[in-house]
Amino acid sequence: MSRIDFQSVCKRYAPNAPLTINNANLTIENGEFCVFVGPSGCGKSTLLRMVAGLEEISSGDLSIGGERVNDLPPARRGVAMVFQSYALYPHMTVRENMGFGLKVFGANAAEIDKKVREAAEILQLTHLLDRLPKQLSGGQRQRVAIGRAIVKEPRVFLFDEPLSNLDAALRVQTRLEIAKLHHAIGTASMIYVTHDQVEAMTLADKIVLLRAGEEVQTKGSVAQIGTPMDLYHRPNSLFVAEFIGSPKMNILPAQFESGDSHRATVRVAGTPFEVAVDAAQLAAGTRVSLGLRPEHMRLADSESSPNSLPAQVVHIEKLGEASLLYLELAESLPTITLKVEGTTQLHTGENVRLQVAPSDLHLFDAGGEALARTVPLPV
C-alpha cells in the first residue's frame, strides 16, 4: 500500500541545465523509515518534493503502492508533509491547526475531534489543544505540525529537515518522538530528509546517501543505499566513508604492494599495513587510500607492533566520556583523529604509536571505490 518506487528518475530544473537528480533507483518498503541524506544541494528536498507531487519529474517513473503517480495531483497521493518551518496558521489554535486539513476535505466535526484527540495523545499535546502557535515552544510547534500530518492518516509521511530550527536538546527529544511515532504507526512509510548524518544513523531503517557536484552527472545521484550499519561498516566509496561516522574517517594516501582475494599489503610513508580486503584486481604500485576510523585505532605497545605508525599528539579535545586526540604523523601525511577513553592521561606533545587491526581498515582504489572487506563484520 505504501511502498514507494523510484525507477530511473531524473530531474532538470531547466531544459539545458545539468541534472539535479540523475537516475535515482530506489524502493521504500511498506512501513519503512527511509532517510535521504547528503551534502547541501545534492537534491534531497527535490526527491522528497517529487513524492509529495510538488515537483515535476523530468523522466523515469515514480510509484506509490504500485500506482504510477508522476501525474497524480498532491491531494490524491495519500501523503502528508512536515516542513522545517512548521507552517502553522498563527490565528488558529492547536486543535484547529491539526484539524484544518480534515475540515477542508469535508470531514464531520465529531470525526475531526476524535482524530485530533488521538494524535494529540500520541504527541503529548492534549493539554495544549486550545493554545495558539505563538504560545508554544519551537518543539511543541513542530509536534503540532507532525500532529496535523498524523490526522490525515497518510500512507506516506514526508519530513523535510523537521528538526533544523530546534536547539540541540530539543532536536534529540523530537528525534526520539519521531522514532516512537514510526513504531506507533506501523504501516505508513516515512521519508525523512536531513543533511545530518547522526539523524540519518539514529532514525533510519534505510539510508539513501546522495552525492552532490560534478559526479552526479557521471555517476548518478545515489551514492549508496543500505542500513545505517551497512554504510558504516561497508561504505562503497571514499565519499560514503567520509560522510558516515563522527568524527569522520581518517584517510591516508598509500601505495598497494601485493595482495590476493583476502588481503592486501599497502605502504603508508614506507610503513607496511595489512588490510583485510579483496585486492585480487589491484596492480602492484597502484595508488590507494587507507581508511581508519578514529574509534578503531589504539595505541601500540612497542615499535615492533605490526600495522603501526609513530605519531605525536598535537591537540586534545576532552568530551567527557571520550577524548579526541589530534595526531601528526610523518611530514607528508595529514593530521589524523583518534578517539580514546575520557580518562586518558596523554598530553599535547607526547609521542605515541598508533595501531589498527587489518580487519578494522578500509581500502579505496585510485577512483575512490572501496575494495570489498573480507572479514566477518558485526552486521
Shortest distance in whole angstroms from residue 59 CB to ligand ADP: 16
Shortest distance in whole angstroms from residue 36 CB to ligand ADP: 8
Site for ligand ADP in 96-155 (CB under 6 A): none
Shortest distance in whole angstroms from residue 40 CB to ligand ADP: 5
Shortest distance in whole angstroms from residue 49 CB to ligand ADP: 7
Residue closer to ligand ADP (CB basis): 194 or 337: 194
Assign 229 to helix, strand or coil: helix
- CA–CA separation, 87 vs 80, rounded Å? 13
CA distances from 292 to 325, 341, 363 (A): 14, 18, 9
Q: Binding residues for ligand ADP, how many (CB under 6 A)?
A: 10
Residue closer to ligand ADP (CB basis): 14 or 169: 14
Residue closer to ligand ADP (CB basis): 45 or 58: 45
Residue closer to ligand ADP (CB basis): 223 or 363: 223
Residue closer to ligand ADP (CB basis): 97 or 221: 221
Shortest distance in whole angstroms from residue 57 CB to ligand ADP: 13
Residue closer to ligand ADP (CB basis): 44 or 339: 44
- CA–CA separation, 29 vs 23, rounded Å? 19
Shortest distance in whole angstroms from residue 197 CB to ligand ADP: 13
* Sign of the alpha-carbon torsion through 45, 46, 47, 50: positive
Shortest distance in whole angstroms from residue 179 CB to ligand ADP: 22
Q: What is the per-residue DSSP string for 131-175?
A: S-GGGS-HHHHHHHHHHHHHHT--SEEEEESTTTTS-HHHHHHHH
Shortest distance in whole angstroms from residue 222 CB to ligand ADP: 13
Exposure string over 102-114, b if 16+ CB within 10 A, otherwise e:
beeeebeeeebee
**Which residue is it, cell 537534491?**
43
**Which residue is it, cell 582475494?**
261
Site for ligand ADP in 249-268 (CB under 6 A): none
Residue closer to ligand ADP (CB basis): 20 or 307: 20
Residue closer to ligand ADP (CB basis): 96 or 196: 196
**Which residue is it, cell 590507494?**
288
> Residue 180 CB: number of other CB atoms within 10 A?
12
Site string for ligand ADP, 5-44 (x = CB under 6 A): --------x------x-----------------x-xxxxx
Shortest distance in whole angstroms from residue 11 CB to ligand ADP: 8
- CA–CA separation, 305 vs 274, rounded Å? 12
Shortest distance in whole angstroms from residue 191 CB to ligand ADP: 12
- CA–CA separation, 184 vs 365, rounded Å? 44
List Cβ neighbours of 234 (8 Å cut-off, separation of 6 or more): 226, 370, 373, 377
Select from 2, 22, 46, 337 the one that contacts ligand ADP (CB under 6 A): 46
Site for ligand ADP in 171-200 (CB under 6 A): none
For residue 243, what is the enclosing H or E element? helix 238-243
HEC profile for 41-73? Answer: CCCHHHHHHHHHCCCCCCEEEEEECCEECCCCC
Residue closer to ligand ADP (CB basis): 44 or 206: 44
Select from 25, 27, 30, 45 the one that contacts ligand ADP (CB under 6 A): 45
Residue 342 grid coordinates: 575520557
List Cβ neighbours of 35 (8 Å cut-off, separation of 6 or more): 191, 192, 193, 194, 199, 200, 203, 204, 206, 207, 208
Residue closer to ligand ADP (CB basis): 13 or 105: 13
Residues near ligand ADP (CB under 6 A): 13, 20, 38, 40-46
